[in-house]
Amino acid sequence: MDVYKAINSRKTIRDFSHREIKPATLNKIILAGFKAPSNNHLREWHFILLQDRIQRKALLGRIIHPVDRQGAITIVNRWGLTDEKQCTTYIEAIPKQYNMLYTAGALIYPCYLQPTPLLKPRSLSEMNPLVSIWCCIENILVAAAAEGIFGVTRILFEDERRILKKILKIPTKYEVPCHLALGYPASDAKRLPQVEIDINERIHMNSW
Ligand SMILES: Cc1cc2nc3c(=O)[nH]c(=O)nc-3n(C[C@H](O)[C@H](O)[C@H](O)COP(=O)(O)O)c2cc1C
């Protein structure tokens, strides 16, 4: 598939069908992740695939506390959000957090080597490992889109990160940037509109 077509078709999906992702397809998509740029050239990335539903349920039950639609509206109001598309996205997304991770064809935990304290960076360079794994994740999302597979990333709250690292036996020096759920979309999967960008307003010639 043409790269622009894959990029333009990639959208966050939180409603998955039951269709399994073939292991060879998943390997191909993750290998595309390894083609992303890496700060120190070494691509110190590992991926935990949590495919066992019983294990998934046990993990998610400990870290995700389901919120219904009314709860989502309360959160959005508390945050004081005003952009209509943004509010719609959050109100749609918040109640789906548990289910999207539980039902996804693949629930992936990217892990990356973080040699310095993650939450106490002293320079932009100390954030390089985190930045690099996100380059990798974007490659994965675009490669997945080229295969008709879509998904969602969810950042880990601090307590989630701690519990998840322990349960999944992730080595101390490795960090997990997000949950990464991938799958074939359900027939009625919501694709929420992106904000519209006028590129001429975003590119500044020679100075801002
Ligand atoms: C760093 C990051 C964190 C995100 N966290 C969440 C999340 O916690 N839950 C969720 O449902 N979506 C999450 N998303 C997905 C965004 O909501 C989504 O990318 C955004 O609304 C734009 O929609 P699009 O991906 O369809 O273009 C996250 C995306 C990024 C890049």
Confidence of residue 69 (pLDDT cuts 50, 70, 90): very high
Average pLDDT, stretch 27-33? Answer: 98
Are 133 and 196 in contact by the 8 Å Cβ rule? The answer is no
Using the mean position of ligand 1's atoms as its centre, give its distance from the Cα of residue 13 in Å.
9
Task: Give residue-wise pLDDT tens across range 132-156.
Answer: 999 999 999 999 999 999 999 999 9
Using the mean position of ligand 1's atoms as its centre, give its distance from the Cα of residue 188 in Å.
19
* Residue to mutate, 98, 137, 155, ligand 1, most ligand atoms under 8 Å from C-beta: 155
* Residue to mutate, 90, 154, 179, 196, ligand 1, most ligand atoms under 8 Å from C-beta: 154
Structure confidence at residue 175 (pLDDT): 97
Question: Residue 44's domain is classified under what CATH number?
Answer: 3.40.109.10
Residue that has been written with the tokens 């506390």 in this structure: 65
Please give the number of the atom of ligand 1 that sits closest to the Cα of 100.
11
Cβ of residue 93 lying under 6 Å from some atom of ligand 1: yes
CB proximity list for 144: less than 8 A, separation 6 or greater: 10, 29, 150, 151, 182
Task: Give residue-wise pLDDT tens across range 184-200.
Answer: 999 999 999 999 999 99
Residue 1, pLDDT > 90, answer: no
> Cα–Cα distance between 112 and 107 in angstroms, integer?
17
Q: Where are the alpha helices (DSSP H) in 64-127?
A: 69-79, 84-93, 97-103
Q: State the total domains in the chain.
A: 1
Residue 62, pLDDT > 80, answer: yes
Cβ of residue 12 lying under 6 Å from some atom of ligand 1: yes
Structure confidence at residue 119 (pLDDT): 93
Would residue 203 count as lying in a domain?
Answer: no
Burial (Cβ within 10 Å: 0-12, 13-18, ≥19) of residue 197:
exposed
Would residue 200 count as lying in a domain?
Answer: no
Would residue 204 count as lying in a domain?
Answer: no
Q: CA nearest 101: which of 137, 72, 130, 63?
A: 63
Give this prediction's pTM: 0.96
Would residue 10 count as lying in a domain?
Answer: yes
Residue 73, pLDDT > 80, answer: yes
Cβ of residue 152 lying under 6 Å from some atom of ligand 1: yes
Cβ of residue 190 lying under 6 Å from some atom of ligand 1: no
Question: Strand, helix or coil at 47?
Answer: strand
Task: State which H helix or E strand residue 48 sits in.
Answer: strand 45-49
Residue 51, pLDDT > 80, answer: yes
Would residue 28 count as lying in a domain?
Answer: yes
> Cα–Cα distance between 111 and 43 in angstroms, integer?
11
> Cα–Cα distance between 73 and 64 in angstroms, integer?
18
Cβ of residue 8 lying under 6 Å from some atom of ligand 1: no
Task: Give residue-wise pLDDT tens across range 108-117.
Answer: 999 999 999 9
Would residue 195 count as lying in a domain?
Answer: no
Average pLDDT, stretch 103-127? Answer: 96
Structure confidence at residue 76 (pLDDT): 95
Would residue 104 count as lying in a domain?
Answer: yes
Confidence of residue 165 (pLDDT cuts 50, 70, 90): very high
The boundaries of the domain holding residue 142 are 3-190
Would residue 120 count as lying in a domain?
Answer: yes
Average pLDDT, stretch 122-128? Answer: 96
Average pLDDT, stretch 70-97? Answer: 95
Using the mean position of ligand 1's atoms as its centre, give its distance from the Cα of residue 201 in Å.
23
> Cα–Cα distance between 200 and 22 in angstroms, integer?
42
